[in-house]
Amino acid sequence: MKSSYITLISIVVLAACSPLEQEEQSLSATIQGEAQGTTYTITTVGDSMNYKPGIDSLLSAFDQDVSLWVEGSLINRINNFQREDTVFSFYDSSKVFSVLFDLSHEIYTITEGAFDPTVYPLVEAWGFGLKNKQSMTQEKVDSLLYYVGFEPYRIDMNEIEKGYIYEHTDIRIGRAGTRLDFNAIAQGYSVDLIADYLLQNGVTDFMVELGGELKCRGLNPQGKAWRIAVDKPVDNEAERVFQAIITVEDKAVATSGNYRKFYEEEGVVYSHTIDPRTGFPVQHSLLSATVLANECSTADAYATAFMVMGVEATAQFLAAHPELNLEVYLLFHDGEKIEAVISEGLRKKIEELDEE
């Protein structure tokens, strides 16, 4: 799972165009800033208004709800509560927490635990969270798995109403030690919120990118579909190499990967992606998973789940759940080569780049 808001595989918008296209491009504006430990870039078409103050305010409020990096955030207060004899009560004015809780539980259930926001104790223990790595043994992992699993007997949420009017939300901790980490879905959801903010202000053509997760709507400044480049999964941050270009029409795109955040100990490479079902870093050939979905929160969460599952299990999952309407681009090691799995609906929208 992600241990921070920083995405591990960058996805960038191809801005290159000919001089003629530059002359014909529509009125557009670019908004840039910093948030969630990374950067964001937003391009609006047909509208030159400055939406940055509103977006920054939205992102700041978002962090106060679900950022593990903000001392005193709602999620940190819940994680620090750790009492089984009573409940943690709060008024959820933004509904950010409740939406992420419910959506996470839905995806946890359908992926049979491959996506699990209660994996946080394991993420920290393996050294990919806010604390230093612990000495990990099977016994240590087993002790932490006692707190992992997004089930009501470990942690539950109840929205209290009176006369059909919302009053407050209760969080009940069934096992003190169970803690939440929404980082594998929160960044995508913040992209959705920014997109909704733009739509509410009458902007219909835009691209929102935050930390590599993005959402495209309408057409780009040249009046064409947005074109997104996916990085080649190589551990070389000094030079970016593109693996493919995807044409994106009214979709969100998120990528998760293992090849940039890991450590080696006694000759063993430990990936930052922790399998919540086993408690250990994943050991398979999948290098990156790019997911296209209607909502960025959905794409974000499933990209993480597929990194846990691996290539074969992901293919089986997609075949079993066509109702999810997910498109995927999986890159994996096959010996010394990088191979790809492309979902059928994506084949006409993706251009794989030849290696030099």
Question: pTM of the entire structure?
Answer: 0.90
Q: What is the pLDDT of residue 9?
A: 39
Mean pLDDT of 120-144: 84
Q: What is the pLDDT of residue 258?
A: 74
Mean pLDDT of 139-167: 96
Mean pLDDT of 280-301: 94
Distance (Å) of CA 200 to CA 28, 35, 171, 204? 18, 21, 32, 9
Take residue 304 and report the two structure tokens written for it: 């993480």
Take residue 8 and report the two structure tokens written for it: 């591990």
Residue 235: pLDDT band by 50, 70, 90 thresholds? low
Q: Please check the confidence at residue 20 and state whether its pLDDT lies above 50.
A: no
- Classify strands 28-35 and 165-173 as parallel, antiparallel or unpaired: unpaired
- Residue count (the chain): 356
Q: What is the pLDDT of residue 337?
A: 87
Q: What is the pLDDT of residue 129?
A: 65
% of the chain surpassing 70 pLDDT: 85
Q: What is the pLDDT of residue 267?
A: 44
Lowest pLDDT segment from 24-38, 57-71, 74-88: 24-38
Residue with more model confidence, 99 or 22: 99
Residue 269: pLDDT band by 50, 70, 90 thresholds? very low
Take residue 230 and report the two structure tokens written for it: 């996916």
Residue with more model confidence, 9 or 155: 155
Q: Which amino acid is at 134?
A: Q
Residue 27: pLDDT band by 50, 70, 90 thresholds? confident
Strand, helix or coil at 205? strand
How is 293-332 classified by DSSP, letter by letter? Answer: ESSHHHHHHHHHHHHHH-HHHHHHHHHH-GGG--EEEEEE
Q: What is the pLDDT of residue 270?
A: 46
CA gyration radius, the chain? 21
What value does the mean pLDDT of the chain take? Answer: 88
Q: Please check the confidence at residue 154 and state whether its pLDDT lies above 90.
A: yes
Distance (Å, whole) CA 251 – CA 217: 7
Distance (Å, whole) CA 306 – CA 155: 24
Which of 103, 159, 67 minimizes the C-alpha distance to 302?
103
Q: What is the pLDDT of residue 340?
A: 94
Q: What is the pLDDT of residue 12?
A: 52
Taking only the tens place, the pLDDT of each residue in 174-212 is 999 999 999 999 999 999 999 999 999 999 999 999 999
Please report the domains of the chain, with CATH numbers, ordered by start residue: 60-173 (1.10.3980.10)
Burial of 47 (0-12, 13-18, 19+ CB in 10 A): middle
Take residue 160 and report the two structure tokens written for it: 């209290």
Distance (Å, whole) CA 133 – CA 244: 35
Residue with more model confidence, 63 or 82: 63
